[in-house]
Amino acid sequence: MDLIDPDLLRDRCLIDGIWTGEPKLAVTDPASGEIIAHVPQLGAAETREAIAAAERALPAWRARTAKERATALRRWFDAIVVATEDLAMIMTREQGKPLAEARGEVAYAAAYVEWFAEEAKRVYGEIIPSHRADSRLLVIRQPVGVCAAITPWNFPAAMITRKAAAALAAGCTMVVKPASQTPLTALALARLAERAGIPAGVINVVTGSAREIGGELTANPVVRKLSFTGSTEIGKLLMGQSAATLKKLSMELGGNAPFIVFDDADLDAAVEGAITSKYRNTGQTCVCVNRILVQDGVYDEFARRLAVAVARLQVGPGTEPGVTQGPLIDNAALAKVEEHIADAVQNGAEIVSGGQRHSLGGTFFEPTVLTGCTPEMALAREETFGPVAALFRFADEAEAIRLANDTEFGLAGYFYSRDIGRIWRVAEAMECGMIGINTGLISTEVAPFGGIKESGFGREGSRHGIEDYSEIKYLCMAGL
């Protein structure tokens, strides 16, 4: 891989400030199928070492002033920004997203580090008016301790920084296990953290067997908190595994985002929002629209305009200029997209555009629009995680809300309307952790990201993101 700074391409893991492990596990470019690197295949024993390193590093890191931790994080932020082109290239090669999107993710990932560098200084306590004349009641916030992060492949940089920067800012140390599809971005970020002067053991990255590493991270009593982003299925498994040691948990799991277009919507804006939210990262984000619910009066026109906009999307390898749709991550992802389309068509949906594997081969798929979708179809119940826009028809507001909430998930939701009364009613009625109103783009480091229902709990970003890494301690000072 051609990088400006080849030192960022790492083939070892970082444990206690030492780059370690034999590169064994192949990392593949999903656009070409080519093996681009190997990383270590670590297991429980090495994970135990990483946890022990994080435990040793904790007292000194926790004892630093918030400003000192903030300064170190700020240097990490600067290093990430300087390395933008290389990080974007590494990410595009291992993950597949277009370079422009990869650059955008690097900026987004860096923004979390900058944000939490700032928030480190604002972990305030409280003084509570006492229930007794001779006492004073205080609340202080302290770091949770050693934390673990298990992260997915769809945002190889941002899913790490939104956890690690919050943890480090709060005074915690961390062990990160990135997804096996995208370990190179994680290792490059660790290298930049090291260069920024973040001490040995404060951040450790282990790659390898998800089951073994995850098993140790959840069973080891030294780990006080686990933050996981991934599927609901694995989230439930990790929550069960964490029960024995009663760890604090943050779970950012699957979604099934509804996107409602009311009759009074600005249709061009709604089409633009649907394109951004549906096709970003080739439909592989947990806040991607999964069900587009369109009111009777604008249904046909919305479908027509969406198909026109979809025809402008350009499929190809993420490294090629102008490409907006990269490949899917792997064959399993491709198979799921095909199954969802076949099931929908069998149950009466109509393909308005796409619907097939792309002529480029591999895991490329045509951006697809389906009309006539119904709640019984698989794509209405499960996250498709691919470039398939599924249109459902509804008659009135009550039906839209009922359809939107007819899922066990509750991560993101979106709707388009210009009626202020309806905007409040629908926003309050939708069972989601995050709602985009007249926009398809909601993610920012300054706002709380997270879900309800089986999409999980905990919030990342905003001032709430650092709270998840601190414990409340109440001090009752009596005898005054």
Binding site for ligand ADP (CB under 6 A): 150-152, 177, 179-180, 210-211, 214, 230-231, 234, 237-238
Whose Cβ is closer to ligand ADP: residue 140's or residue 222's? 222
Whose Cβ is closer to ligand ADP: residue 123's or residue 388's? 388
Cα–Cα distance measured from residue 424 to residue 426, given in angstroms and rounded to the nearest whole number: 6
Helices (H), 65-157: 66-82, 84-95, 99-119
Helices (H), 207-258: 210-219, 232-242
Q: Is 391 helix (H, G, I), strand (E, B) or coil?
A: strand
Burial of 59 (0-12, 13-18, 19+ CB in 10 A): exposed
Whose Cβ is closer to ligand ADP: residue 150's or residue 403's? 150
Whose Cβ is closer to ligand ADP: residue 240's or residue 375's? 240
Instruction: Output the 3-class SS for 160-184.
Output: HHHHHHHHHHHCCEEEEECCCCCHH
Give least dist CB 329 to ligand ADP, A: 8
400 to 78, 403, 427, 454: CA distances (angstroms): 45, 5, 12, 21
Query: Could you say which of 252, 397, 454, 460 is catalytic?
Result: 252
Burial of 348 (0-12, 13-18, 19+ CB in 10 A): exposed
Closest CA relative to residue 213, chosen from 337, 369, 49:
49
Whose Cβ is closer to ligand ADP: residue 72's or residue 184's? 184
Active site annotation includes 252? yes
Whose Cβ is closer to ligand ADP: residue 92's or residue 209's? 209
Whose Cβ is closer to ligand ADP: residue 30's or residue 214's? 214
Whose Cβ is closer to ligand ADP: residue 336's or residue 358's? 336
Specify whether the CB–CB gap between 256 and 409 falls below 8 A: yes
Chain position carrying tokens 């949770």: 144
Q: List the structure tokens of 195.
A: 């260069």
Cα–Cα distance measured from residue 292 to residue 174, given in angstroms and rounded to the nearest whole number: 39
Cα–Cα distance measured from residue 334 to residue 301, given in angstroms and rounded to the nearest whole number: 29
The gap from C-alpha 226 to its chain's centroid, in whole angstroms, comes to 15
CA dihedral (439, 460, 195, 5) positive or negative: negative
Whose Cβ is closer to ligand ADP: residue 105's or residue 397's? 105
Cβ–Cβ contacts within 10 Å for residue 402, how many? Answer: 13
Helices (H), 40-83: 44-63, 66-82
Cα–Cα distance measured from residue 318 to residue 90, given in angstroms and rounded to the nearest whole number: 11
Number of helices and strands in the chain (H, E): 15, 22
Cα–Cα distance measured from residue 222 to residue 245, given in angstroms and rounded to the nearest whole number: 9
Q: List the structure tokens of 25.
A: 């596990």
Cα–Cα distance measured from residue 184 to residue 9, given in angstroms and rounded to the nearest whole number: 7
Closest CA relative to residue 267, chosen from 228, 295, 238, 229:
295
Residue nearest to ligand ADP (CB): 214
Q: What residues are labeled active site?
A: 252
